Amino acid sequence: MRGVLNVGPSVGEIETFSFLAIVVVSVIVFCRPAHLVAQELSDEQARQLAISAVRQSRVVPESTFLNPHRLEDLEEAALSLQWNVRGRMPQKLYLVSISTEGYEIKGNEVFFHGSTGAGADRYVGIAAETSQTYRLYGFTDAMKDFNRMAVDLGFRIKDELTAERYALFAFRCVLGPKSNNIVYSELQVRHIAEDYFYAYNSPAEARRRFGSWWRGLRLGSVPKPLGPHAVKTHSGFTVELLLLDVAQGRPPKLQQYKIEMTTDGKTAIAETEPPTQRTDRPL
């Protein structure tokens, strides 16, 4: 009698294989790191947490309209500055600016909220995995919360170039739009000042006032090139930078800042003595 070749698995083998497959899948699902299992916050949830952080701090009246928008360039910087370790994914961070200006929809009506003079933007950081919030620019404890955020996210400063990038990130998180006027060249100083004088004066008066201001400006004692400059220290790095502060009603003013940081991202920001500046004639 001719034998039959059995090329398929037996019932017992199928049952054994099924059991092992279930065990393997269970291990993969239940033994994953918590940060892979946890549900990340959505964009809308992050915005609402940022609004709540502003309201809970009572820096604006309860009835104030608040308009959130994300600072995506800062979010990308936060990802690039996190500790790069094999097997550890960077933590997603939402950075949200809260303004009191913008459009509000109520039913079939649209309302526009303009500036009241007291409603400056405020920045809030939100960790997508833990829902932790960090009160940054516009809050009195901005520096403290920034350092807490640095520890939670695992920032690492490994060299002078990273220190300069991190200094700009920290400066903007803590001092907000003030970072827009960080200067990188004498030509940029000139352009920012010219824009200021021409915005508030007639062309002839603007030329006179700018000329007087420029002659009184002394950049000779400032190290070149301008822009953030990092120096390694025993505990981390120190970065110095210049910005041109402009505010209506007074001449532009050079300000110098020193940003000290440890290698794990803890930071202190202080204004230092700016370059000598004088004015030849009243502005």
Residues 6 or more apart whose CB falls under 8 angstroms from that of 197 comprise: 206, 209, 210, 213
Q: What is the pLDDT of residue 21?
A: 44
Q: What is the pLDDT of residue 210?
A: 92
Q: What is the pLDDT of residue 88?
A: 65
Distance of alpha carbon 208 from alpha carbon 203, whole angstroms: 9
Q: 126 and 96 in contact (C-beta within 8 Å)? A: yes
Every domain of the chain and the residues it spans: 37-156, 157-283
Distances (CA, A) of 279 to 111, 183, 270, 283: 46, 20, 25, 8
Residue numbers in the chain where pLDDT is lower than 70? 1-38, 84-88, 115-119, 218-224, 274-283
Question: 95 φ, ψ to 5°?
Answer: -120, 120
Q: What is the pLDDT of residue 10?
A: 54
- pLDDT tens digits along 145-203: 999 999 999 898 999 999 999 999 999 999 998 888 898 988 888 899 999 999 999 99
Strand partners, 104: 111
Q: What is the pLDDT of residue 48?
A: 94
Distance of alpha carbon 222 from alpha carbon 199, whole angstroms: 28
Give the position of tokens 């352009």. Answer: 191
Q: What is the pLDDT of residue 111?
A: 72
Q: What is the pLDDT of residue 171?
A: 96
Give the SS3 label for residue 98: strand
